A and B are shown apart, each in its own frame.
Chain A
């Protein structure tokens, strides 16, 4: 079974530029999460999708961050314009209620550096 895929793995941009990240969850997983992990901190949930609907985006800075999961499968997270404090690893995870697994499966992350 393929894991959660993310791209790119690394991205360096200058402040005020735009950037987009892509995530493909494990096949059949209805729930998809985007987290921001700043160096030395735990993952912070940015947005949670259930199929193509948003369950929780309370911590998403909506003035600059946006995310979509149009067909209920893969997802993109965009930052426009980027700020220095957006430098972090952006993690995508997926989960399924089926099979009694309950846990999340994480992708390798995208390390963003904003200069």
Chain B
């Protein structure tokens, strides 16, 4: 069964415009959620994570994601994107047993 769904495979957006990358996960008793970013020809880097507590989590480069239990979503947002944000973004869920499941990824292209 698919644990993580990223509905948008490609998202083009103009520089300084806002963006939202969607992520939905299969409901589970307990879940930890992550967003990873993969810049061209590089490995995956952790962008932000939700473990518990405040449902809004932020990264150091202006991205934020909100855990919504009722909608089983963990969408990633940024109010104003930069050219350097062009990358592939992966949503992931960690379940019991220390197992991770990744979505298929969303390719964000920032247009000058």
The stretch of B12-20, B40-48, B58-66, B70-78 that contacts the partner chain: B40-48
Given A55-B97, A55-B99, are A103 and B34 also a contact pair (CB < 8 Å)?
Answer: yes
Residues of B in contact (CB 8 Å), total: 23
How many chain A residues touch B (Cβ–Cβ < 8 Å)?
A: 26
Interface centre among A42, A55, A100, A105 (most CB of B within 10 A): A42
List, in ascending order, chain B residues with CB within 8 A of A67's CB: none
Does A2 have its Cβ within 8 Å of any Cβ on chain B? no
Can you add 20 more A-B contacts, CB < 8 Å, to A31-B98, A45-B101? A33-B100, A35-B102, A41-B105, A42-B6, A42-B90, A42-B103, A42-B105, A43-B44, A44-B102, A55-B98, A55-B99, A56-B97, A91-B43, A95-B98, A100-B51, A102-B51, A106-B43, A106-B45, A107-B43, A109-B43
